Structure 1
């Protein structure tokens, strides 16, 4: 008996893929100087915001859910990128991981509880924070999507503030 195709692949993936393409097109056109501009006063730069978005993809899909991709190994180990082309590559690499997972996961996979790693729990304790509970794959996917929507809005607003065309998904 063949498993049912993931509802994520049929419902969420087309919209997220469109968002991915729009943001990559926008990033590719940004100069080194534009990437250095702050999103707002006393806030991270556009480059740092994009790196943060990439880090969330890596953390949740590779760190939590074990989706492997060699180019992601070591991401965030103080080896952040500086140019738009490098950011584009990382968005594309992380999208390949996400897209592959969304195509492959079944409804049963989406309900699987994913516990945080012992290293993550130790880090939380070291920060004086409560340990994190396990999450379903479905929760993690939504969490990453909402994170991208939130920070994509920040990026769009910052670009508009500086008179740079923002990304559109329609």
Structure 2
């Protein structure tokens, strides 16, 4: 496999477009639209967007992604779960009513993803780290974690699309194109 074929950025091409479709959906939102929630016991739009970026950071930091520790240092409020894993206390980061701050966190956590995909090769994906969950000790691979983060983006991006739609807000790239905004090359005969 050549270096360009072995590049994780090439393999995960399209994820960057999905990320951008989330950013573009959040950018025009008002504070009122960000505090909207479909039911009292559900997250608001802003809380959901904050969770997308902070969920990324938590898992990227666990696997030692390039630059993740520097961004994690910006967060002062952490808690340990019953298995001893560090988790961000998301409510302590009061950015849920500010589209610019939400976008900032989406962008800085995306930069970690992009740096990771630029730095690591396919052969790096099998490297593992220890993670305890529900009392069991797992050997979690980088591949599993990258898929976890991408799946997290897709899942919560879908929720965001639905929440915006329920408010009558059009987010064409995220909703109508499903975040798939990176076009393949044109066919050359």
Q: Where on the TM-score scale, by shorter chain, does this alignment land: which range?
A: 0.7 to 0.9
TM-score (norm 2): 0.74
Match of 1:115 in 2: 130
Give the length in aligned residue pairs.
158
Aligned Cα root-mean-square deviation (Å): 2.2
Unmatched 5+ residue regions in structure 1? none
Q: Distance in 2 between matches of 1:63 and 1:139?
A: 12
Contact (CA 8 Å) 1:39, 1:158: kept in 2 or not?
Answer: yes
CA-CA distance at 1:3 after TM superposition? 6.3
From 163, 170, 186, the equivalent of 1:165 is 170
From 98, 102, 126, the equivalent of 1:87 is 102
TM-score (norm 1): 0.82
List, as ranges, runs of 4+ consecutive aligned residues in structure 1 with deviation greater than 4 Å.
2-5
Structure having the larger proportion of residues in helix: 1
Match of 2:157 in 1: 152
Q: Distance in 1 between matches of 2:154 and 2:94?
A: 22
Cα deviation code 1:81-125 (max 9, x no counterpart) = 131100101111011110010011012211101223xxxx4xx6x
Unmatched 5+ residue regions in structure 2? 76-87, 174-178, 182-189
Contact (CA 8 Å) 1:38, 1:44: kept in 2 or not?
Answer: yes
